[in-house]
Amino acid sequence: MQIPIAWCRIARIFLPFAVGYYLSYLFRTINALIAGHLSSDIGLGTADLGLLTSVYFLVFAAAQIPVGIMLDCFGPRRVQSALLLIAAAGAGLFAVSTGFLSLLIARAMIGLGVAAALMAGLKSTLLWFPRERVALLNGYMIMLGSLGAVTATAPAEHLLTWMDWRRLFEILAAATGATAILIYVVVPERAIVPSTASAPATLGSVFGDRRFWRIAPLSATCVGSAWSLQGLWASPWLADVEGLNRADLVGQLFIMSLVLSGGAWLFGTTVHCIRRRGIGAETILATIALLFIVAQIALILRAPLPSIASWSVVAIVGAATVVSFAVIADYYPPELAGRANGALNVLHFGWAFLAQYATGVVLEQWSTNNGHRAIVAYQVAFGLNVTLQVAALAWFALPWLQSFTLPMASAPSIMPISAFDAVEAAIFCEQTDDDAEW
């Protein structure tokens, strides 16, 4: 009877939330495809387009803490279904808007409406599935959800050949409303039993934890920047710097979206496997960040590489939330999962807003030539972002770097489950909750 029960849970719990996250990712990235239509139909400039697209991230980030608390208090079913109705209303307003202000309000409503999309799925996974399967299922969740980014490229471009962007958003509004009803009707409720061994489930438990503040800046600057780039600025770069025509540009965005989706599966599977070998997810996150920085530097310096190689790395980093949330799941008990994931997501989406909007402002400082901006404008904008990512990586790796000054004679030949936490514990001479595992 185990297999039917497992598949029933997947059908009634996992898949409905995956559909909700799919729509969230579709809304997040669709503006990269319709940017030209918005500019021509509404008359938006680069800075306006950057603000319009990035307000999604701003509202999304602002909602994360309240949403996280609501998920812990009321459960993912009720929270997700209610918020998706707001997203449906926002998509409907976007479809009929004729001015920048109404578009901005509609985009903000969409951001609020899908603010729980990923966290509700992560919360439901923690509540209904074995803990050792959480990272793997989260990988599948983000993989399926990121197919929304795939849909926002070539498939959506095909739809736009026989309907305008307004009709497309009307369809999205209807699909989002139907998903809200599906989740409310199909997903069961499950009470959360607090862990008697854990600290009280408060935000102070998260924000007062040094481990959180070591991982959060690195995760935010990398994941948020990847979302910013793929969600908007990859398209202008490919047109202005690479000189791609519309068909080739959409094709490359499509490949990037496929890589993003595959990356989520890859990260989830990798975390699931390496834990059996005693390697922590923090190590994977640091490796991903380093590759991301190298890929962006290759783009900035115009390295003699196919641009799709560097942009594929940028895309795959957008799925690194699988790794970040796997680390968070190790740090905190299930009753604190909503708050902890929400706290991290505040920084993810807050940084995505800042990076996306600031990039538009920087680009505005250079005039256009035949509708294209100079390469140096992109180099400066992207370079500022990379500088901050390097600083975050250095902060994250600081305990490991300091370990070279400590006596290592008594250290084991293989680092424990969380190498960075182990070094930090040695430096500050503190006992953490992970000591039992070490």
> How large is the average pLDDT for residues 85-94?
97
Helix (H) or strand (E) holding 347: helix 337-363
Query: Is 428 a residue whose pLDDT tops 70?
Result: no
pLDDT at 274: 82
Domain ranges for the chain: 6-186+203-436
Cβ pair 317, 226 in contact under 8 A? yes
CA 81 vs. chain centroid, Å, equals: 20
More confident residue, 393 or 46: 393
The single-letter DSSP state of residue 369 is E
Cβ pair 49, 73 in contact under 8 A? no
Q: Please report, for residues 39, 149, 236, the alpha-carbon distance to residue 258 in angstroms, rounded to integers and kept in the order given.
A: 27, 8, 20
- Give the tens place of pLDDT for each residue, 139-190: 889 889 889 988 988 899 899 888 999 999 999 999 999 999 999 999 988 7
Q: Which CATH architecture has domain 6-186+203-436?
A: Up-down Bundle (1.20)
More confident residue, 311 or 260: 311
pLDDT at 191: 63
- Give the tens place of pLDDT for each residue, 284-323: 999 999 999 999 999 999 999 998 999 999 999 998 988 9
Q: What are phi and psi of 417, to 5 degrees?
A: -50, -50
> How large is the average pLDDT for residues 186-210?
70
